[in-house]
Amino acid sequence: MTPEKNGGTAVLPGSYDPVTFGHLDIISRAANAFDNVIVGVVNQPVRKQQTVFSAEERVAFIEAEVAEYGNVQVKPFDTLLVDFAREHGAKAIVKGLRAISDFEYEFEMNQLNRKLAADIESVYLMASPEYSFLSSSGIKELATFGAGIEDLVPPYVAKALHDRLSRQGR
Protein backbone atom coordinates (compact mmCIF):
# COMPACT_ATOMS: atom_id res chain seq x y z
CA MET A 1 0.00 0.00 0.00
CA THR A 2 1.30 3.49 -0.87
CA PRO A 3 1.92 5.50 2.32
CA GLU A 4 -0.66 8.22 2.83
CA LYS A 5 0.62 11.75 2.31
CA ASN A 6 -1.30 14.95 2.07
CA GLY A 7 1.34 17.65 2.27
CA GLY A 8 0.90 18.55 -1.41
CA THR A 9 3.95 19.90 -3.19
CA ALA A 10 7.06 21.14 -1.38
CA VAL A 11 9.98 23.09 -2.80
CA LEU A 12 13.48 22.40 -1.44
CA PRO A 13 15.65 25.35 -2.50
CA GLY A 14 19.40 25.72 -2.32
CA SER A 15 22.63 26.32 -4.16
CA TYR A 16 23.67 22.66 -3.92
CA ASP A 17 27.23 23.48 -4.98
CA PRO A 18 27.63 20.54 -4.77
CA VAL A 19 24.91 18.31 -3.32
CA THR A 20 26.05 16.44 -0.17
CA PHE A 21 24.74 13.40 1.68
CA GLY A 22 23.22 15.90 4.13
CA HIS A 23 21.10 17.47 1.34
CA LEU A 24 20.15 14.03 0.04
CA ASP A 25 19.00 13.00 3.51
CA ILE A 26 16.69 16.04 3.70
CA ILE A 27 15.40 15.39 0.14
CA SER A 28 14.60 11.76 0.92
CA ARG A 29 12.83 12.65 4.18
CA ALA A 30 10.78 15.34 2.39
CA ALA A 31 9.90 12.84 -0.35
CA ASN A 32 8.43 10.60 2.39
CA ALA A 33 6.33 13.38 3.84
CA PHE A 34 5.07 15.28 0.78
CA ASP A 35 3.20 14.13 -2.32
CA ASN A 36 5.61 15.91 -4.65
CA VAL A 37 9.00 17.47 -4.07
CA ILE A 38 10.66 20.00 -6.37
CA VAL A 39 14.35 20.51 -5.63
CA GLY A 40 15.02 24.12 -6.69
CA VAL A 41 18.62 24.78 -7.69
CA VAL A 42 19.53 28.47 -7.51
CA ASN A 43 20.85 29.54 -10.89
CA GLN A 44 24.26 31.16 -10.75
CA PRO A 45 23.59 34.60 -12.29
CA VAL A 46 21.41 35.69 -9.36
CA ARG A 47 24.08 34.88 -6.78
CA LYS A 48 27.04 37.09 -5.95
CA GLN A 49 29.59 34.31 -5.46
CA GLN A 50 30.74 32.11 -8.32
CA THR A 51 29.69 28.51 -8.02
CA VAL A 52 32.14 25.69 -8.75
CA PHE A 53 29.53 23.87 -10.83
CA SER A 54 27.05 25.27 -13.35
CA ALA A 55 23.34 25.05 -12.60
CA GLU A 56 23.05 22.25 -15.20
CA GLU A 57 25.79 20.26 -13.48
CA ARG A 58 24.30 20.79 -10.03
CA VAL A 59 20.87 19.71 -11.31
CA ALA A 60 22.36 16.61 -12.98
CA PHE A 61 24.19 15.54 -9.79
CA ILE A 62 20.95 15.63 -7.82
CA GLU A 63 18.89 14.01 -10.59
CA ALA A 64 21.22 11.01 -10.61
CA GLU A 65 20.57 10.50 -6.89
CA VAL A 66 16.79 11.02 -6.84
CA ALA A 67 16.01 8.95 -9.94
CA GLU A 68 14.74 6.15 -7.69
CA TYR A 69 12.04 8.38 -6.14
CA GLY A 70 8.88 8.71 -8.16
CA ASN A 71 7.87 12.05 -6.66
CA VAL A 72 11.01 14.21 -6.86
CA GLN A 73 11.90 16.61 -9.69
CA VAL A 74 14.95 18.87 -9.91
CA LYS A 75 14.74 22.30 -11.55
CA PRO A 76 16.97 25.36 -11.76
CA PHE A 77 15.43 28.73 -10.88
CA ASP A 78 16.45 32.37 -11.02
CA THR A 79 13.33 34.07 -9.71
CA LEU A 80 12.19 34.85 -6.20
CA LEU A 81 11.86 31.60 -4.28
CA VAL A 82 8.20 32.27 -3.47
CA ASP A 83 7.44 32.84 -7.18
CA PHE A 84 9.16 29.55 -8.01
CA ALA A 85 7.08 27.84 -5.31
CA ARG A 86 3.85 29.39 -6.65
CA GLU A 87 4.72 28.41 -10.21
CA HIS A 88 4.78 24.78 -9.02
CA GLY A 89 1.72 25.01 -6.78
CA ALA A 90 3.85 24.38 -3.68
CA LYS A 91 2.29 24.97 -0.28
CA ALA A 92 5.58 24.55 1.54
CA ILE A 93 9.24 25.52 1.35
CA VAL A 94 11.35 22.88 3.10
CA LYS A 95 14.84 23.57 4.39
CA GLY A 96 17.34 21.63 6.48
CA LEU A 97 18.66 23.11 9.72
CA ARG A 98 21.97 21.97 11.15
CA ALA A 99 22.98 24.18 14.03
CA ILE A 100 22.18 27.44 15.75
CA SER A 101 24.44 29.12 13.18
CA ASP A 102 21.91 28.26 10.43
CA PHE A 103 19.06 29.67 12.45
CA GLU A 104 19.89 33.36 12.15
CA TYR A 105 20.11 33.31 8.34
CA GLU A 106 17.05 31.10 7.99
CA PHE A 107 15.07 33.24 10.41
CA GLU A 108 15.72 36.29 8.19
CA MET A 109 14.83 34.38 5.00
CA ASN A 110 11.70 33.09 6.70
CA GLN A 111 10.52 36.59 7.55
CA LEU A 112 11.24 37.86 4.03
CA ASN A 113 9.52 34.94 2.33
CA ARG A 114 6.55 35.17 4.73
CA LYS A 115 6.17 38.87 3.97
CA LEU A 116 6.11 38.13 0.24
CA ALA A 117 3.85 35.08 0.45
CA ALA A 118 2.15 34.42 3.78
CA ASP A 119 0.26 31.48 2.26
CA ILE A 120 3.44 29.46 1.65
CA GLU A 121 4.66 27.85 4.84
CA SER A 122 8.37 27.30 5.51
CA VAL A 123 9.10 23.98 7.18
CA TYR A 124 12.44 23.01 8.73
CA LEU A 125 13.84 19.50 9.01
CA MET A 126 16.60 19.01 11.57
CA ALA A 127 19.74 17.52 10.05
CA SER A 128 20.36 13.90 10.96
CA PRO A 129 23.18 13.78 13.55
CA GLU A 130 25.63 12.11 11.16
CA TYR A 131 25.31 15.05 8.75
CA SER A 132 24.97 17.94 11.18
CA PHE A 133 28.50 19.19 10.44
CA LEU A 134 28.27 18.83 6.66
CA SER A 135 28.23 21.83 4.31
CA SER A 136 29.03 22.34 0.62
CA SER A 137 31.61 24.99 1.53
CA GLY A 138 33.31 22.62 4.00
CA ILE A 139 33.42 19.90 1.34
CA LYS A 140 34.98 22.32 -1.17
CA GLU A 141 37.62 23.32 1.36
CA LEU A 142 38.51 19.68 2.03
CA ALA A 143 38.63 18.88 -1.70
CA THR A 144 40.80 21.93 -2.40
CA PHE A 145 43.43 20.58 -0.03
CA GLY A 146 43.16 17.03 -1.31
CA ALA A 147 41.33 15.47 1.67
CA GLY A 148 39.06 12.48 1.09
CA ILE A 149 35.39 13.43 0.74
CA GLU A 150 34.11 10.08 -0.54
CA ASP A 151 31.95 9.43 2.54
CA LEU A 152 30.36 12.90 2.40
CA VAL A 153 29.17 13.23 -1.23
CA PRO A 154 28.20 10.74 -3.98
CA PRO A 155 31.25 9.19 -5.73
CA TYR A 156 30.88 11.04 -9.07
CA VAL A 157 30.46 14.34 -7.20
CA ALA A 158 33.68 13.66 -5.26
CA LYS A 159 35.50 12.94 -8.52
CA ALA A 160 34.07 16.00 -10.29
CA LEU A 161 35.01 18.21 -7.36
CA HIS A 162 38.58 16.94 -7.20
CA ASP A 163 38.91 17.32 -11.00
CA ARG A 164 37.41 20.80 -11.03
CA LEU A 165 39.34 22.20 -8.11
CA SER A 166 42.65 20.78 -9.26
CA ARG A 167 41.96 22.03 -12.83
CA GLN A 168 41.49 25.51 -11.37
CA GLY A 169 44.96 25.14 -9.82
CA ARG A 170 43.70 25.67 -6.27
Please select the residue that binds ligand PNS; options are 25, 57, 69, 80, rule is CB under 6 A: 80
- Could you give the residue ranges of the DSSP H alpha helices within 10-72? 21-33, 55-66
* Least distance CB 101 / ligand PNS (angstroms): 12
Q: How many residues of this chain interact with ligand PNS, rule: CB under 6 A?
A: 12
Task: Give the binding range for ligand PNS (CB under 6 A) out of 12-20, 127-135, 141-149, 152-160.
Answer: 12-20
* Binding range to ligand PNS, per CB under 6 A, among 9-17, 27-35, 53-61, 144-152: 9-17
- Strand partners for 94: 123
Cβ 89 to ligand PNS shortest distance, Å:
17
CB nearer to ligand PNS: pick between 78 and 150: 78
Instruction: Say how far apart CA 129 and CA 134 lie, in whole Å.
Output: 10
Q: Give the E-state strand segments of the chain in sequence order.
A: 9-14, 36-42, 72-77, 90-97, 121-126
Positive or negative, the CA dihedral 139, 141, 143, 149 is: negative
Q: What is the dihedral of CA 115, 98, 78, 36, to 10 degrees?
A: -90
Interaction between residue 96 and ligand PNS (CB under 6 A): no
CB 96 within 8 A of CB 125: yes
State which residue, 53 or 77, has the beta carbon closest to ligand PNS: 77
Pick the binder of ligand PNS from 42, 152, 153, 165 (CB under 6 A). Answer: 42
15 sits near ligand PNS (criterion: CB under 6 A): yes
Q: Which residues, 6 or more positions from 145, have their beta carbon under 8 angstroms from its beta carbon?
A: none
- Give the whole-angstrom CA distance, residue 89 versus residue 38: 10
154 sits near ligand PNS (criterion: CB under 6 A)? no
Candidates 5, 8, 67, 78; binder of ligand PNS (CB under 6 A) is 78
Residues that bind ligand PNS (CB under 6 A): 13-15, 42, 46, 77-78, 80-81, 109, 112-113
